[in-house]
Chain A
Amino acid sequence: GQQLNQSPQSMFIQEGEDVSMNCTSSSIFNTWLWYKQDPGEGPVLLIALYKAGELTSNGRLTAQFGITRKDSFLNISASIPSDVGIYFCAGQLRSGGSNYKLTFGKGTLLTVNP
C-alpha cells in the first residue's frame, strides 16, 4: 500500500540535542498526525495538525503542516532518554464522511545517548 516518505530513517543523538524529522507525500492531505511507538506497543498520538502552515507545540515537541499540504515536520527540543522510540507521521484526506483512514510513513528510529 501507499506510504509516505519519512526521513531520516534513523537518528543517534546525545541527550540535550534538538531533533528534526520530516515527512513528504506525492499527494495532499488535510490532516497530519505524528505518533510515537515503543517496541511491542501501539502508536501514541503526539500532535495533530489541521491547517496548511499551522505550527503546533506539545511540550518539547513542535510540528508544522507544510504550506503545500504535501509535507510535515516534527522537532523535538532538548532530547531526553525517554524520547527513544520510533516516530511516525500519518496523513489523512477526509472528504465528507469518508476517507478517515491514515496513511503512515515508515518511521524514524530515534536513539538518545545519555
Chain B
Amino acid sequence: DTGVSQDPRHKITKRGQNVTFRCDPISEHNRLYWYRQTLGQGPEFLTYFQNEAQLEKSRLLSDRFSAERPKGSFSTLEIQRTEQGDSAMYLCASSYESEQYFGPGTRLTVT
C-alpha cells in the first residue's frame, strides 16, 4: 500500500497527558499537512511542511501543539497537556502539488 499511513488509528488518553501521532506520507510527495476534524465539521488546517521546513501554522495550533518533519519524510504531531477539547480526528495529508491525499486519521479521545 503506497498511500498515506497514520499511527495509531485510535488513542484514548487522560486529560493532562502528552500524546504523539505519526504520519508517513506518499513517498514522492514533498508536502505534508496536518488537519483536525471534529464531529459534523470539515477538516481544519493546522500546519504544513515543505520537505523538512514548517511553512505555515494555523492560529488553531496552540503552544501545546508541536509538529516536526525532521528528515522531510515522516512527520509527528505532539499534543502536550491534553484537554478534553483536543478530542478530534487528526488527519494527515501529503501532496506534490495541489492534490492532497489523506491518511485514515488518528481518533483522539481525551477523558
The bracket for how many chain B residues form the interface is: 20 to 34
In the complex, what residues of B have CB within 8 A of residue A114's CB? none
Residue A7, interface by CB 8 Å: no
Q: Which residue of B lies closest to A106 (CB)?
A: B42
Residue A59, interface by CB 8 Å: no
The bracket for how many chain A residues form the interface is: 20 to 34
Chain B 30-46 near chain A by CB (<8 Å), digits 1 or 0: 01010100001111110
In the complex, what residues of A have CB within 8 A of residue B101's CB? 45
Interface residues of A (CB under 8 A from B): 1, 3-4, 6, 31, 33, 35, 40-45, 48, 50, 88, 90, 92, 94, 97-107
5 extra A-B contacts, CB within 8 A, seeds A42-B91, A42-B102, A45-B99: A94-B98, A98-B55, A100-B50, A101-B33, A102-B33
Interface residues of B (CB under 8 A from A): 4, 6, 31, 33, 35, 40-45, 48, 50, 55-56, 58-60, 91, 93, 95, 98-105, 107
